[in-house]
Structure 1
Amino acid sequence: MTDAPPVDFIHRNSPAFRRVNLAMFAAGFATFALMYCVQPLLPVFARDFRVSPIGASLALSLTTFTLAAALLVASALSEAWGRKRIMAGSIIGAALLTIASAAIPHWGLFLAFRAAIGLVLSGLPAVAMAYLAEEMHPGSMGLAMGLYVGGSGFGGMAGRLMTGILADAVGWRWATVAIGAIGLASGLIFAARLPPSRHFTRRPLVLGGLARTYLAHLADPALRLLFAEAFLIMGAFVTVYNYITFRLMGPPFGLSQTSVGLIFSVYLVGVASSAWMGDLAGRLGRARVLPAGIGIELLGALLTLSSSLPVIVLGIALVTFGFFASHSVASSWVGSQARGTRAQAAALYLFLYYLGSSVMGSIGGIAWSHTGWGGVVAMIALMLFIGLAIARHLAILPSRPAEVM
């Protein structure tokens, strides 16, 4: 097969590659910062709004649920309206809603704003995956996707860390304003730096055709397993971060909001693992690297059962490393496995990804309320054991490997 000319596709180490990855890093950063900035505040919401831990978790679960549902339509809109316009509008709109939500005095209305943030953010994740799949040379795809996911990891870390520190210093409302302002700046950087699409073909929005497209992707056995994998690895990851805050701020640890925020700086390992493992998967094969990432996430979850704070922090770090490694590999696998409308394949993957966050993130509250942290970890371990079985099955299914130079 003849290699694509350098002018057609974006190769690593080129100026265009650096521009795309700066823009995508900013996009991933903004998405996760705006979405997950409320996660360290869940105990604060439970106290200030007088709701249960399960009720407090809705501040995150509603955002991920509306994002998951809207992804299925947003990806199709990008086929008709263009990639860059949808993505830039999503980041900037979600940032403005985040700033406005800080002034909301009532819990129900605050949750409505959080749901709207998920709705608006839906225009970015699936479209970003499709943009990279269309514009990147296949040999550079793993690294590009890893850097995008790394930006997500950095945004998740910064959102949690800054929100925790600022909430102790000036209150959660001003902390939310600050995160919204950072998200707005990231959106403007994205809009200024991302090159226009060169391989995008505009398609009219036809709902009947959209349904057939989704069914065609679901007919692919490998894609079905990758979609299930997304639900499991993300559900396990979010459940750890949702309820470890309650554990660490309660007895016997009694940590402050700032201390918990500092612990969440282990998110930085996700930035490193996503790029490194994404690149490694391109050289060693996704079928080898995906189960390793899931196994590391499982090991980390088990370590959080310890009564030693340093061991718990190590466990959180391994959960983060394993999750971002697995997500980087699985999401790039979807991009190469799908044929035709990649935005819709990415949307299905991310639909299950965020549905896992929403559903399992809330169900984890039931486990926490009735069985404590041991029950939460048991639920997480079950999900990840299933994830390992799926990864093993993926390794024996026929798949479409990425082209390499």
Structure 2
Amino acid sequence: MLLNFGRVDQARTNRIRIALLLGALALFALLYAPQPVLPQFAEAFALAPGTVALLISAATLGLAVAAIPLGALAEAVGRRRVMIGALLVAEVLGLLLPWIPVFPVLVVVRLLQGIAIAGLAAVATAYLAEETGGKNLGAAMGLYVAGTTIGGMTGRLLGGVVGDFAGWRGGVLAVALLAAVCTAFFVVLLPAERNHQRKPLSLGPLFGGLRAAVRDPVLYGPYLVAALGMGSFVTVYNVLGFRLTAPPLLVPPALAALLFLAYAAGTVTSTLAGRAADRYGRTRVLLGGLAVTALGLLLMLSGSLIVIVLGLVVFTGGFFAAHSVASGWVGVRASAQARSQASALYQLAYYGGSSVGGVVGGAAYGSWGWSGMTVLLCCWLAAAAAAVWLAQIRSRRSRTAGARRAPAVAAAASAGSTAEHGRCRSS
């Protein structure tokens, strides 16, 4: 009987893993579907690169703004319900996108799609932690993260290759159809919660945790890495297609889309960076990741396609290494009562940086070309590195101050205990 129960429980865990893998694949494929065909959007609507980048920025802005409210809603109405509803709405909007002929309406629909996507992105990890837990959690989380990487890469590749011969409408529709299949399996496979205790919506604990997360100056280091690093990352991937398909390179769009395979470098470096941070220290690895990111930018200044590809791989690997360490820093640094809010603020900075940075970086490319844009992005990365360095100094000072206070507190407690003991004896 116990053996059968164990098999049933393992089967349920496997269903959760597969469902969240497919959900993550659909989620990130939809989020970045327009990116490989941005040059086609620019040509079809006669717009500058910075303007068509709004199709990415609007979605990531919606995700950033809606993550905290939808996370709180899931606590009250159930995580499965929110995730399924959110992904279904995002999918319907994705299927509508190719048929919209007006660019401002496209941007609004992408904003709404980003808000819907937040319903899964903000809730999935909490669902996994509660429903798998223990020895199964690491494998389940790894599979979910793999789904985000595969989804982002697959959406870009499929959209770019199909878009080369079917236009932007065909590219976006192909990604939406792939996501529809994944969404259908996600809805069927995802089991209802067993361990979640629903809580009424309460703003007190939410704002209390947010206050604590905002007041800690050390956390501004990783927040700025998220904002400025992701702004740089999205800018490069937004405008690289414009550079590659234009003279003198004249790379066919389908071939240019294959460069999104460089995205896979982040899967490797994010894992290696976490181990290196444990061994050599968080600050060193984080600063090293930012330096490697900047090196990739400088390599991409070359006019050689081979060197550009190498630079993109280096740039992508460096960014994901820095992102991995910075997000882990937030979880370690934040207090227990503010941890979820601090993580939400990191996500807000991450996707907010994507939204604002993508537009600003695209405008810089349109005005100053690739070289001018590179200078701007290197300045952003330098500012992120300075924020990390200052955060480390503040962290060291807070630890030193805490170490100095500890003996004084212990002495005061000891003195109070001695006095109390004396009073007891005299009485």
Q: Which TM bucket (shorter chain)?
A: 0.7 to 0.9
- Provide TM-score, normalisation by structure 2: 0.81
Which of 49, 65, 68 matches 1:69? 65
Range moving further from structure 2, 285-294 or 298-307: 285-294
Specify the code of the residue in structure 2 equivalent to 1:307.
Answer: G
Aligned residue in 1 for 2:342: 345
Aligned residue in 1 for 2:383: 386
Q: How does 1:2-401 map to 2 (within 5 A)?
A: 21-131=17-127, 147-193=143-189, 200-278=196-274, 281=277, 286-338=282-334, 339-340=336-337, 342-395=339-392, 397=395
Contact 1:143 1:278 in 2 (8 A): no
Specify the code of the residue in structure 2 equivalent to 1:80.
Answer: A
Q: CA deviation at 1:112?
A: 1.8
User: For each residue in 1:320-370, what CA deviation from the matched residue of structure 2 results, as whole angstroms up to 9, or x when unmatched?
Assistant: 212222223333433444423644333211111111011111011221122
Cα pair distance change 1:84/1:341, threshold 3 Å: farther
Q: Distance in 1 between matches of 2:265 and 2:386?
A: 25
Unmatched segments (≥5 aa) in structure 2 = 1-9, 400-427
Between structure 1 and structure 2, the one with the greater Rg is: 2
Q: Distance in 1 between matches of 2:332 and 2:15?
A: 22
Unmatched segments (≥5 aa) in structure 1 = 1-13, 401-405
Q: Distance in 1 between matches of 2:381 and 2:140?
A: 26
Q: CA deviation at 1:225?
A: 2.6
- Provide TM-score, normalisation by structure 1: 0.85
Cα pair distance change 1:280/1:234, threshold 3 Å: same
Q: CA deviation at 1:120?
A: 0.7
Q: CA deviation at 1:252?
A: 0.8
Q: Distance in 2 between matches of 1:150 and 1:394?
A: 30
Q: Distance in 2 between matches of 1:277 and 1:31?
A: 25
Q: CA deviation at 1:143?
A: 7.3
Q: Distance in 1 between matches of 2:135 and 2:299?
A: 36
Q: Distance in 2 between matches of 1:127 and 1:206?
A: 17
Range moving further from structure 2, 224-233 or 22-31: 22-31
Contact 1:146 1:276 in 2 (8 A): no
Q: Distance in 1 between matches of 2:386 and 2:285?
A: 14
Cα pair distance change 1:245/1:359, threshold 3 Å: same
Contact 2:286 2:321 in 1 (8 A): yes
The answer to which structure has the higher helix fraction is: 2
Specify the code of the residue in structure 2 equivalent to 1:257.
Answer: P
Q: Distance in 2 between matches of 1:230 and 1:100?
A: 31
Q: Distance in 2 between matches of 1:380 and 1:324?
A: 16
User: For each residue in 1:285-307, what CA deviation from the matched residue of structure 2 results, as whole angstroms up to 9, or x when unmatched?
Assistant: 54443333322222111111111
Range moving further from structure 2, 128-137 or 40-49: 128-137
Q: CA RMSD of the aligned region, Å? A: 2.9
Q: Distance in 2 between matches of 1:392 and 1:139?
A: 36
Cα pair distance change 1:122/1:170, threshold 3 Å: same
Contact 1:75 1:343 in 2 (8 A): no
Contact 2:63 2:114 in 1 (8 A): yes
User: Identity of counterpart residues, as a percentage?
Assistant: 42
Q: Count matched residues.
A: 387
Q: Distance in 2 between matches of 1:167 and 1:376?
A: 26
